[in-house]
Structure 1
């Protein structure tokens, strides 16, 4: 692509992100609160395989990890990589056709690996997709979907216990699920089912305020009782009751684990025992290789007794009106700064990727 066209494309992505943030994401953010004290991260292993150069999704398995890159120009990188516990690649499964922009991984209750082909920096895609790799299979199967309200950029994928994918958009944390069962060779409409209101934090990260609100990955605990969303700065863990992931995300209050100063954190997974979170950055510090990090999790607070009173959170409309008033003030005070942050993040992210290709 010519430099002029590239510049126009990046500018269009930045402007689109500003519009989304100003209209949807900012009103849902609470007033910033102090970040939690970060749990010490423990390095697990370094990724030495040069094919893993743009890691955008990861799940932990009983004997290692599964990873994939962001959509890569290099054909050798367009694989689903199975790693052992020392981060050595043991198997690499190719796609039967070229994916567009793979951004996250999830694992179903039956061990099926789901690849979220859901990235769309320019918001120009007519359809998005998921790839399903059944246990023991040597090729994933493609399923296409379409949004009901125009294109969105997304980097986070969850799968419910009954095998339903949940897509979380990057800048607005809106949730979409298929309206009917997925079918190979067909495009299934998506339905908007809610929006996540992540609390604001002050965790240090390379992208500042926008990095603390951009949803870049998601994961489900192996027992299905917890889900986590991550940004470039923090992990937000929600308790799930009765398998209802949507209600957990739209009404729950998350526990926060700070993930400070990861170079470009876009992947997250629970450990198989559910006691830790694993993360890995898409990019590494210059001259180094990406490293998987382990963050220990605090024990969830005990559940209230059945007869204990529960503070009222107000109706959904009350919460929406309150969030809207807060968001309006934030937008009025910081619109210009927000635009600069959005443009900077999008351009820097795309430039990093371009520089590696």
Structure 2
């Protein structure tokens, strides 16, 4: 089967490799394409990109694959994604000038740490959830209480097979919410019970999140606008954000229900054009801006202000950067409401319908041809 190509609205040609015909993979692939085409009905205008500024530059040879970021009262905490070098597989504390001031080692080797979250009591959660080849039997979360010498490992398993994921949302209740890195719509998962060290906790799927498709320029063209690469919840718990390689999308959170916010809420886009490889997003310690950092040598932390956002006190950020405190285990009381997110479109309905018809027609032709070849 040949590749599918079309013009990228932001310039260039988009090509997607098609799976072998006549397989379950083919059907799943076309479902994803239909979801993407449906998302094209919502092309939001870019916002905030022109206002970004450099905060500081990380000049440490160990920090070249930054995939997770949180802000503290005195600086930042970062992690690399899956690294082959032991010296890179740590939790790194940075000061306000992006210099490394402390590191914390894992008691055993993590597989692919992709995101960070910070709880209200200052506890750090490291999401060891990357799985590029979708082959892991379990994923993991590491919990580091303020002042602790090492994080505690909790293993989790998906109910529907392996998934690659790079986004962690830590709800105000303490519930960790994992969002997968899937084309078209990311799956949203929460633990089905209390996390227990030394045991595998099953996850349950509580919804899907389909972000609007924008025209924001990025190194990965059309594909860079489809994949969720990071997430965060604001210090006061009133907002949640998910990002792609091109944009961030912020959702208002009501009653602490992060799951309902990202699965049924209306996304407010913040364009983050041409970041080298944006796989992280965080809120500033006072909640007035979004912060990002890319993979690569000497990465720069960037700040995107949130106009009109009042500063909040962040006890979590203060506790994460100094002495120890107690750390409660996460609650599992998140709502499991599932619905499609609604977004106002700016493209004509006719163009979307036409695209859907063309895809459906192509699907019929492909499946018909596959069926004839098998006879």
Q: Same fold (TM over 0.5)?
A: yes
Paired with 1:331 and 1:280, the residues of 2 have a C-alpha distance of 37
Q: Are residues 317 and 214 of structure 1, via their aligned partners in 2, closer, same or farther at CA, if it must alter by over 3 Å?
A: closer
TM-score by length of 2: 0.75
Alignment correspondent of 1:39: 50
1:278 aligns with 2:291: yes
Deviation (angstroms), 1:173: 1.2
Which of the numbers 121, 127, 140 marks the counterpart of 1:116? 127
Asked whether the equivalents of residues 219 and 268 of structure 1 are also in contact (C-alpha less than 8 Å), the reply is yes
Task: Compare 13-22 and 115-124 and name the one that shifted more.
Answer: 13-22
Match of 1:191 among 204, 221, 224: 204
The alignment partner of 1:283 has SS state of coil
| 1:140 aligned to which of 141, 151, 164 | 151
Q: Which residue of 1 aligns with 2:74?
A: 63
Please name the residue that 1:347 is paired with.
none
Unaligned ranges ≥5, structure 2: 1-16, 310-337, 343-348, 364-375
> Residues 272-301 of structure 1: CA distance to partner in whole angstroms, max 9, x if unpaired?
1111111000125xxxx210000111337x
- Root-mean-square deviation (CA, aligned residues, Å) is 2.9
1:152–1:20 distance in 2 versus 1, CA, 3 Å: farther
Matched ranges for 1:62-101 at <5 A: 62-101=73-112
Alignment of 1:1-357 (within 5 A): 22-24=30-32, 26=36, 29-37=39-47, 38-171=49-182, 172-283=185-296, 289-299=298-308, 316=339, 328-329=356-357, 331-332=359-360
| CA shift in 2, pair 1:272/1:331, >3 Å | farther
> 1:173, 1:318 → 2: CA distance?
12
Q: For each residue in 1:233-281, what CA deviation from the matched residue of structure 2 results, as whole angstroms up to 9, or x when unmatched?
A: 0000000010000111111111110000001000111011111111000
Q: Deviations over 1:284-339 (max 9, x none)?
A: 5xxxx210000111337xxxxxxxxxxxxxx95897xxx9979844745899xxxx
Greater gyration radius? 2
Q: 1:20 to 1:273 in 2, by over 3 A?
A: farther
Structure with the largest fraction of helix:
1
Paired with 2:203 and 2:354, the residues of 1 have a C-alpha distance of 30
Per-residue displacement from partner, 1:33-89 (whole Å, max 9, x unpaired)?
253142321001010111101000000111100000001100000000000000000
Q: SS at 1:248's partner residue? A: helix
Distance, in Å, in 1 between the alignment partners of 2:177 and 2:110 is 19
CA distance in 2, matches of 1:317, 1:170: 17
Number of equivalenced pairs = 304
Instruction: Render the CA deviation track for 1:162-187: whole Å, top value 9, x for unaligned.
Output: 21110000113110000000000000
The normalised TM-score by structure 1 is 0.79
